[in-house]
Amino acid sequence: MHDLSDGLAHFQQDVFPAKAELFAHLATTHRPQTLFIGCSDARVVPELITQREPGELFVIRTAGNLVPAHTEGVDGGDGVAASIEYAVAVLGVSDIVVCGHSACGAMTALAAGQDLAELPAIARWLRHAAPAGAPAGASADPPPRELGALVRANVAAQLANLATHPAVARALAAGTLTLHGWVYDIPTGTVERIDPAVGRSAALAS
Ligand code: ZN
């Protein structure tokens, strides 16, 4: 906690004053144009890798950047669905990015077929990655190429899940919303774009 207190003091003394005008504007304005759905992984920082200022990204971070498909009448405290609905129907974001990443712990657990008996919440949550399909013959130490393929397939699967949410489906039909799939590579800082429609990818801003 000491590090956090030091950081907070630095923010208040040096960073905040330099951006005082921005924060004054943001005090009464919340109009992000992008919903960024990323992994909770500490190494994948949305505002850092996209170089966005406060107020520009509406962010949801979940283990494995998973987006459960829309389900009718589920009273499970579905914070992900509520945040998606708010971003699209209330804030009116024009773009949604689903961002996976290299060395993802959630995808590694799936690729390795790890025993999650002692981690029941994680086991339940990772079922939302099922459409991505764990590779056949999962091994305890999946090779990077296999893990990379699963990470990319998972981004495509989560984009499909995202489109099942009514607010997203309406905005897509109206042509006011565009979905994007990214995979961020931690050691190089590059982003690979995932195109769910044709199942191919291309280097983006590398
Ligand atoms: Zn991850």
Between residues 112 and 197, which one has the greater pLDDT?
112
pLDDT at position 139 is: 65
Between residues 2 and 92, which one has the greater pLDDT?
92
CB atoms within 10 A of CB 64: 26
Which pair of structure tokens corresponds to residue 144? Answer: 């990077």
Question: What's the CATH code, domain 32-205?
Answer: 3.40.1050.10
Hey, where are the domains in the chain? 1-30, 32-205
SS3 158: helix
Which pair of structure tokens corresponds to residue 143? Answer: 């090779």
Res. 126: pLDDT tops 70: yes
Helix or strand holding residue 98 (H, E): strand 95-101
Cα of 138 vs centre of ligand 1, distance in Å, is 18
Mean pLDDT to the nearest integer, 180-204: 81
Which pair of structure tokens corresponds to residue 48? Answer: 């850092």
Global pTM reads: 0.91
Cα of 19 vs centre of ligand 1, distance in Å, is 31
d(CA 6, CA 80): 32
Cα of 43 vs centre of ligand 1, distance in Å, is 9
Cα of 42 vs centre of ligand 1, distance in Å, is 9
Mean pLDDT to the nearest integer, 141-170: 93
Proportion of the chain above pLDDT 90, given as a percent:
81
Cα of 40 vs centre of ligand 1, distance in Å, is 6
At residue 1 the predicted structure's pLDDT band, cuts being 50, 70 and 90, is confident
Cα of 64 vs centre of ligand 1, distance in Å, is 4
- The torsion of the CA quartet 180, 185, 190, 195, rounded to 10 degrees, works out to -30
Give the active site residues.
39, 41, 43, 101, 104
Reduced DSSP (H G I as helix, E B as strand, rest coil) percent helix, strand, coil of the chain, to 5? 45, 15, 40
Mean pLDDT to the nearest integer, 92-96: 98
